[in-house]
Amino acid sequence: MSQGGSNPYGNTKASRLINEFPVFTNQIDLLIAKYEKLVDTEATQLDEINRLKVMVADKDEKIRIHEQWCRELQKEANELRVNLEKTKKEHDVKVSELEKKFKAKKEEVGKTINKVEEMANSMIWEKLKSLDFGSNAVG
C-alpha cells in the first residue's frame, strides 16, 4: 500500500493545514503587531507617568521650599511684632516721662513768672513810692 492511497483523509487535513498556514501566520503576525503596539503604548504611558512623577516631585519641592519661606517669614513677622510691642512700650514710657518733665517745667515756669510778676509789681510800687505820688495829691 502506498501512503497516499491508504489515508486520503489525512492528506486532506495536511493539505488544509498547509493551505490555511499562511492565514494562521498572518493572524499571528497581526497579534504580534497588536502586542507590539500595546507594548509601545504602555512604554509611552510609562514614560509619561515617569515624566509626571518628576513634575510632581519638582512641584512638591517647590511647595516645600515655599512653605519653609512662609515659616521663616512668619517667624520674622512674629519677631518684628514682639520688637514693635517692646518699642511701643518703651516709647509710651518715654512719652510719659517727658509729659511729667514738661508738666514740672510748666509749673516751674509758672512759679518763676509769678515771682517775676511779684518782683515787677513790688519794684513798680517802690518806684511809685519813691516818686511820692501820694504827697502831690490835691487835698
pLDDT digits (tens, 9 = 90+) for 23-53: 788 889 999 999 999 999 999 999 999 999 9
**What's residue 10's pLDDT?**
55
**What's residue 21's pLDDT?**
78
The answer, yes or no, to whether residue 139 has pLDDT greater than 50, is no
Q: Is residue 119 part of a domain?
A: yes
Residue 4 and residue 11 in contact, taking contact as beta carbons nearer than 8 Å:
yes
- Identify the domain containing residue 109 by its residue range: 10-131
Instruction: Give the three-class secondary structure for 135.
Output: coil
Q: Is residue 31 part of a domain?
A: yes
Query: For residue 59, what is its C-alpha cell?
Result: 512641584
- Give me the mean pLDDT over the 115-126 stretch: 93
Q: Is residue 138 part of a domain?
A: no
On average, the pLDDT of the chain sits at: 88
Count of structural domains, the chain = 1
Q: Say how far residue 70 (Cα) sits from the centre of its chain.
A: 4
- Give me the mean pLDDT over the 77-91 stretch: 97
Residue 12 backbone dihedrals phi, psi, to 5 degrees: -65, -45
Q: How far apart are alpha carbons 108 and 116 in whole angstroms?
A: 12
pTM of the model as a whole: 0.47
